[in-house]
Structure 1
């Protein structure tokens, strides 16, 4: 079956690991550091590049934001022969132990009811591959990053679904108690894609993990600058690839 979005992509076009990024611009930011890189597919928000990193063939694909587009990218990558998938993205932290610019690895995700219910019931766990996660975490620690692990939340909403103000007075407003509810249950962060990756990877039996850059701590609104944020993503991509190359 030919892909509808990642057009004409097959197993020969994918590396030993495929990084997943939300922002299409981050594909070039990261792949430009590789020994070689070549555009494989570009359609809508989906850009796929494959190249070599320290002698190993690797890939990177943009997914866009949120559940719907990420499901498309992951399904078509798995169908095309992807071997390992690692989401390299950002998140907002809900714990004062985490600072903007830290790295966070989620071993499991809470998720909104109904997310991907066509694939599996809401009670099915959204969990990372423990061996892949452990190897990437170790590489991050050895690279000198402040590193955290724990349970996160994947939401289908950026504003009210993450208890954010949206600045519109006539309509629904954020539930101020919503973040506190999940903080009390030791959920460390919120983002919009990891649960989709973990569920689909578990169902279709490939290894998956995430490596998230803390863009903001929501408790004190401490943000990392956009310039530093992109630089951290570049460093994080290198350590993820180094970890994945080691475990081939």
Structure 2
């Protein structure tokens, strides 16, 4: 049994999200959900979606926290992981409630909690192509217009405004805190991972429309569960 997630097993398909209260909301999409872990606030549910068993787990904030959760979920059975979370828009065409599916993720050198994993080697942090393609398909079926693009995983929420110009010039569409860690660790552990992000605000501003964000999150969660049960 892992040190933080006190459970013996999870199904192969796991949806992960930062906020434990968001994990509660996503669990409402499941049939017969049951809470199998609440240790350290890393709330983890197992239930059924269209008669197929899946899990939903909270991973906390930032690379080090999500690294712990991804490692432990993989150790007890996870093989397909989709992060559903929020991001701050760098690209001006993205608005609160829009969905961005990451087709690449990056961080500062040694950042996102990855320094001890990769040493002097730049980590491979691209999402799984098949899961990413299926995510885009399922979002389209739900009538959700989703954009794909590169995201930057930041270690310092309140310092991101200092580098937004550089990130924009490098082609990043949004900034968040976990995708690079999720995709890099999944790749070296031999499992598949993808990320669906709902724009919560423009990076550098805290103004948002929570109703639109919540609607986007539930749509992204539903699409992700469809992908995970295949």
TM interval, shorter chain, is over 0.9
Alignment equivalent of 1:229, drawn from 189, 192, 213: 213
CA shift, 1:134, in A, is 0.3
Aligned partners of 1:159 and 1:222: how far apart in 2?
11
Specify the SS of the correspondent of 2:34.
Answer: strand
> Which structure would you say has the larger Rg?
1
Aligned partners of 1:68 and 1:16: how far apart in 2?
22
CA shift, 1:185, in A, is 1.5
Specify the alignment match of 1:142 in structure 2.
141
Aligned partners of 1:156 and 1:218: how far apart in 2?
14
Q: Give the alignment's TM-score, normalised by structure 1.
A: 0.87
Specify the alignment match of 2:8 in structure 1.
10
Specify the SS of the correspondent of 1:37.
Answer: strand
Specify the alignment match of 2:110 in structure 1.
114
Alignment equivalent of 2:99, drawn from 103, 107, 112: 103
Aligned partners of 1:19 and 1:209: how far apart in 2?
10
Q: Give the alignment's TM-score, normalised by structure 2.
A: 0.93
Question: Quick check: 2:174–2:203 contact (8 Å CA) kept in 1?
Answer: no
For structure 2, the 5+ residue unaligned runs are none
Alignment equivalent of 1:193, drawn from 164, 175, 178: 178
For structure 1, the 5+ residue unaligned runs are 164-174
Alignment RMSD (CA, Å) = 1.6
Aligned partners of 1:194 and 1:76: how far apart in 2?
17
Question: Quick check: 1:108–1:125 contact (8 Å CA) kept in 2?
Answer: no
Write out per-residue CA displacement over residues 119-176 of structure 1, whole angstroms, 9 at most, x where no aligned residue: 114512211000110001111122111211111100111011x11xxxxxxxxxxx3x
Specify the alignment match of 2:154 in structure 1.
155
Aligned partners of 2:13 and 2:172: how far apart in 1?
28
What is the count of residue pairs matched by the alignment?
227
Question: Quick check: 1:100–1:223 contact (8 Å CA) kept in 2?
Answer: no
Specify the alignment match of 1:169 in structure 2.
none
Q: Which has the higher helix share?
A: 2
Question: Quick check: 1:139–1:239 contact (8 Å CA) kept in 2?
Answer: yes
Question: Quick check: 1:16–1:56 contact (8 Å CA) kept in 2?
Answer: no
Aligned partners of 1:76 and 1:222: how far apart in 2?
32
Specify the alignment match of 1:131 in structure 2.
130
